[in-house]
Amino acid sequence: MSFEGKVYAITGAASGIGLSIAKHLHARGAKISLADISEKGLQEAANSIGSEDKILTSVCDVRNLEHVKSWIQNTIDKFGKLDGAANFAGVLASQNGKIIEDQDEEDWERVLGINLTGVMHCLKVQLPHLKPGSSIVNASSIAGIRGLPGLAAYGASKHGVAGLTKICASDYASKRIRINAVAPGTVETPMSAAFVGKNEGYDQWFKSVVPMGRKAQPDELAKVTLFLLGEESSYVTGQVWSVDGGWSGM
């Protein structure tokens, strides 16, 4: 599929799934506006993609509405339009495996702020710039479909993204703007590696509950995301696509 001449905004673009989406869109002709909280990571990502005239990078904390407004305005100023977005900025909780009565308040606010409020900010700012035929994909998770024990903050944030996606899809369907989400299982990303490093035994547990017996590669999530961004999925909206090796089906 071709994205020649299209312009897409991507959060969480410095690494993992977001970076893979950026690379695939760029390779298919799109101009891309990359946002991430890591300035160093953004620069490394841009260098790995190349073609400076088709790339814009912006340091952006999605919890801050003004940051998001500035990023999208800079995107419009540079490229003249916006055709869609992939909102993939996200974090895991600092504490896991604990019940809700032991939930740390600051960690809760951090996770919900980035994973859910951040997506709301992006949708709020991106949607007024989109024309009929545009598409947005948000990042939910298997934890936004299943009730995974010990993941209260992360699971609540991703359930929220799934619900927000469906509601906004309903609100904007008459304008022919599509909004979907993908729900990864466990993926080989720096965030996943950091989580496994801090939580002994989780890696084997993940593999044991996934019927395909392995983690996904970021490219596998990127390809599904591109399908949802592209014209091939023109009659698909308000859906949360599980990309989890069969985990959610068990």
Cβ–Cβ contacts within 10 Å for residue 62, how many?
Answer: 25
**Residue ranges per structural domain of the chain:** 7-245
The CATH number given to 7-245 is 3.40.50.720
pTM of the full structure: 0.94
* Distance of alpha carbon 41 from alpha carbon 51, whole angstroms: 17
- Residue 3 belongs to what H/E stretch? none
Write out the catalytic residue numbers: 140, 154, 158
**Under-70 pLDDT residues of the chain:** 194-200, 202
In tens, the pLDDT along 101-136 reads: 999 999 999 999 999 999 999 999 999 999 999 999
Instruction: Provide the total of helices (H) and of strands (E) in the chain, helices listed first.
Output: 9, 7
d(CA 162, CA 183): 9
Supply the pLDDT for residue 199.
Answer: 64
Predicted confidence (pLDDT) per residue in 231-247, tens digit: 999 999 999 999 999 99
